[in-house]
Amino acid sequence: MLDPLQKQDYFHTMQTPITVSTSATRLVPSVPTRKGVILQPSANIYVSFCGDDTVDTTKGFLIYSGQIVWFSDDLGRAKDAIYAVTASGTGTVKIEEVW
């Protein structure tokens, strides 16, 4: 399993933080060579990491404000697009892609 805390022969790319609202927002596109994605939202968000842009608060997985979440290719989903929404208002998401 790829461990983001151990030194690996991978490189990381920090993305510009993305603003998320109550409408589905794509955080990262589908990329077949990506090994992982690290997310840290400034507000509670709901995500779909299966490339599903119909994510909402009932279908998405909740990531709490400030929580750091690692999506690894070991799970088979790091290559897919990731979409997110908030329940209300807006928040930003820091994103780091691992190649």
CA distance 32 to 5: 22
Query: Could you give the angle at the alpha carbon of 55 between the alpha carbons of 51 and 59, nearest 5°?
Result: 115
- Reading the chain (99 residues) residue by residue, the pLDDT tens digits are 555 556 556 677 888 899 999 999 999 999 988 888 999 999 999 999 888 899 999 999 999 999 999 988 776 678 899 999 999 999 999 999 988
pTM assigned to the model: 0.85
Q: Which domains does the chain have, with CATH numbers?
A: 12-98 (2.60.120.770)
Backbone angles phi, psi at 57, to 5 degrees: -70, -15
pLDDT at 99: 84
Backbone angles phi, psi at 73, to 5 degrees: -65, -20
CA distance 1 to 45: 26
